[in-house]
Structure 1
């Protein structure tokens, strides 16, 4: 609309100039019009390029946001039950102590307890809970183990290694939820 008004004004000015010129002279206005059109066109091209750049940046920001939130949702789902599982780990420890205490005895009453314990372990396994492999003689790893004490090593091979496991450690989807409490040989 602004271009039409400008063109009308230019044409009126050209007619006024043409009226005042002698008959053999014609006004030379067309190069100025072409020049202003090319300036407008280059201005529009630069604005278009700027808008495309803004659009691409906004689109990439949105894609990054979408990926980040989907990753956070997945992590939340995987560790949603972490607090509940942490609270149930002492129950698993109690079942293991009971199993060790009644290991040599044969009783129908104990069979039910061991069935419950087996079912409990399966539920933990299905939830992604794994027992840490920390046995006597394995390397001490501060990322997985918590040393509660150090004792003189009964054997030279056990220096700086685990001598005894006091409490098992557990992983939930490869994330430590309870460190293994161990005794280290010095």
Structure 2
């Protein structure tokens, strides 16, 4: 028995104590290093693929919105042109009737009717004339062509005459009024 017990003791004595946690940690690190590389490459490939798809989607979106913008502008222009064509027809009829007309007042009245029809058509589309005469000069809405001596003291710094009427389209100025200012 002693032999057996010595053998058992010798066995335990000859073995060096091993920390199982160290072995497990080293094995895990080795496995992680081995698996991280393919995993990292896969992640990079996945991210690259997502990036390329996102870039392609953005390019498609940019092209589509540019195309829609051009189509919208063409459609808007078409609407205005279609609204003005009847006025053009009226002008053609007026020009034909001017050749035959013997009364200038009837021609004048016809031209005034056409003007009012055109004005109403544009007004329905959002066009508004700007009132300038007698108003204080404003560089944001007026373009001063020249200055003249003010006819009266109260017209100094104000618009005395309007060379070209200014217009706004739906609250946005599309043409500044060209004016003469009193000094």
Q: Which runs of 5+ in 2 are unaligned?
A: 1-26, 82-104
- Structure 1 length-normalised TM: 0.50
TM-score scaled by length of structure 2: 0.51
Measured after TM superposition, the shift of residue 111 of structure 1 is: 3.2
For the Cα contact (< 8 Å) 2:166–2:178, is it kept in 1? Answer: yes
Say which SS state the counterpart of residue 138 (structure 1) adopts: coil
- Among candidates 40, 58, 61, match of residue 61 of structure 1: 58
Question: Using a 3 Å threshold, how does the CA distance of structure 1 residues 31 and 145 change in structure 2: closer, same or farther?
Answer: closer
User: 2:120 corresponds to which residue?
Assistant: 122
In the TM superposition, what is the alpha-carbon distance from 1:44 to its structure 2 partner?
Answer: 3.5
SS in structure 2 opposite 1:140?
coil
Q: Which runs of 5+ in 1 are unaligned?
A: 1-29, 85-106
Which has the greater radius of gyration? 2
Distance of 2:144 and 2:132 partners within structure 1: 13
For 1:146 and 1:74, the matched residues in 2 are separated by 34
Calculate the aligned-residue CA RMSD, in Å: 3.9
The match for 2:155 is 158
Note if contact 1:78-1:173 (Cα within 8 Å) is conserved in structure 2.
no
Which aligned pairs between 1:76-95 and structure 2 lie closer than 5 A? 76-77=73-74, 80=77
The CA deviation at 1:113 is: 2.6
The number of equivalent residue pairs is 132
Pair 1:162–1:66, CA change in 2 (3 A): same
The answer to which of 134-143 and 116-125 deviates more is: 134-143
My pick for the range that moved more, 46-55 or 144-153, is 46-55
C-alpha separation in 1, matches of 2:76 and 2:181? 31
Report which stretch shifted further, 138-147 or 56-65.
56-65
What is the alpha-carbon distance in structure 1 between the residues aligned to residue 29 and residue 174 of structure 2?
77
Distance in 1 of aligned mates of 2:151 and 2:182: 8
Q: Distance in 1 between matches of 2:167 and 2:112?
A: 21
CA contact (8 A) 1:147 1:182 kept: yes
**8 A contact 1:79–1:172 mirrored in 2:** no
Between Structure 1 and Structure 2, the one with more helix by share is 2
* Distance in 2 of aligned mates of 1:170 and 1:114: 20
Once residues 71 and 138 of structure 1 are traced to their aligned partners in structure 2, the CA distance between those partners, rounded to angstroms, is 42
The answer for the alignment partner of 1:112 in structure 2 is: 110
Give 1:150 deviation, angstroms: 0.6
Matches of 1:74 and 1:143, distance apart in 2? 32
